[in-house]
Amino acid sequence: MSTWAIGDLQGCFDPLQSLLGKCGFDRRRDRLWFVGDLVNRGPKSLETLRFVRDLGDAAVTVLGNHDLSLLMIAAGHGKKHRLDTFDHVLDAPDRDELLAWLRDRPMMHVEGRYAMVHAGLLPQWTVDQAQTLAREVEVALQGPAHDEFMCHMWGSDPAAWDDGLTGWDRLRVAVNAFTRMRFCTPDGRMEFSRKGSPDEPPPGHLPWFSIPAAAWARTHTVVCGHWSALGYRDQPPLLSLDSGCLWGGALTAVRLEDGHAVQVGCERCARD
């Protein structure tokens, strides 16, 4: 049995099939971990969603910011971006089943020495605390008040974690860390406008995984995606897997049992 962790798909269904063939994936014995952003900006979000859903217990996926954006647009919240490419999901005959399945995905998956999230973890958080917050978000997203939660989920304030946070602010900070963060200050204040190289942080900020003495780093390696400018990086306690398939880079899979990496090249399919 092999467990393959795979970077952001964003609707790049054909490279995924090529990658799985190169990995020798067998759904009867192997498992796939997806770091989120199954959909959007690429050409085949519908096919990707159907495929990953139909893998059943052979696949684990956490939610990314583009997955949440799809759920919000489908619920009538948020503003559609001109580069969004998930209309064929919204128009599909099995739309409701696919969206219900997506909304039921976790924010975080922890197994053994690995903790998988889409974007990152704040330096103050232990993995246990992050799991607690992830479950709080999942309850809100999956429960009967999920529509109200999605009305309040998006936004960049407050930008920093505080143990005293409650209500929508508490959940919004957690969502932003799990799905949007790239840079933060040593005390955990996030900055969302900078998307470039991790070597060019805003003043006073560092890449979230570079904060010294981060609590989560004492116990786990974080498996994540979200940051194509960071690319594939296997430097425990970080395993970063977004190698820019959408932008003509590569789609990356890493076998967690031994760190063996497999990549396939991708044709650029993102629109500017």
Q: Can you give the residue range of the structural domain that contains 156?
A: 3-265
Mean pLDDT, rounded, of the chain: 95
Q: DSSP label at 202? A: P
Does any domain span residue 270?
no
Does any domain span residue 109?
yes
Digit-coded pLDDT (tens) for 15-66: 999 999 999 999 999 999 999 999 999 999 999 999 999 999 999 999 999 9
Q: Could you give the C-alpha distances from 17 to 44, 45, 68, 122, 217, in angstroms and in order?
A: 12, 14, 24, 34, 33
Note the pLDDT of residue 130.
98
Does any domain span residue 272?
no
Q: Exposed e or buried b for every residue in 29-51, given b needs 16+ CB within 10 A?
A: ebbbbbbbbbbbbbbbbbbbbbb
Does any domain span residue 235?
yes
For position 7, which CATH number holds? 3.60.21.10
Position 78 pLDDT exceeds 90: no
pTM: 0.96
Q: Could you give the C-alpha distances from 231 to 234, 244, 247, 252, in angstroms and in order?
A: 10, 7, 12, 9
Does any domain span residue 271?
no
- The residue assigned the tokens 């998988």 is 116
Position 172 pLDDT exceeds 90: yes
Per the structure, the count of domains in the chain is 1
Do residues 171 and 137 touch, judged by C-beta distance below 8 A? yes
Digit-coded pLDDT (tens) for 144-158: 989 999 999 999 999
Q: Could you give the C-alpha distances from 92 to 29, 45, 98, in angstroms and in order?
A: 31, 11, 9
Q: What is the distance between the alpha carbons of residues 40 and 29, in angstroms, rounded to a whole number?
A: 29
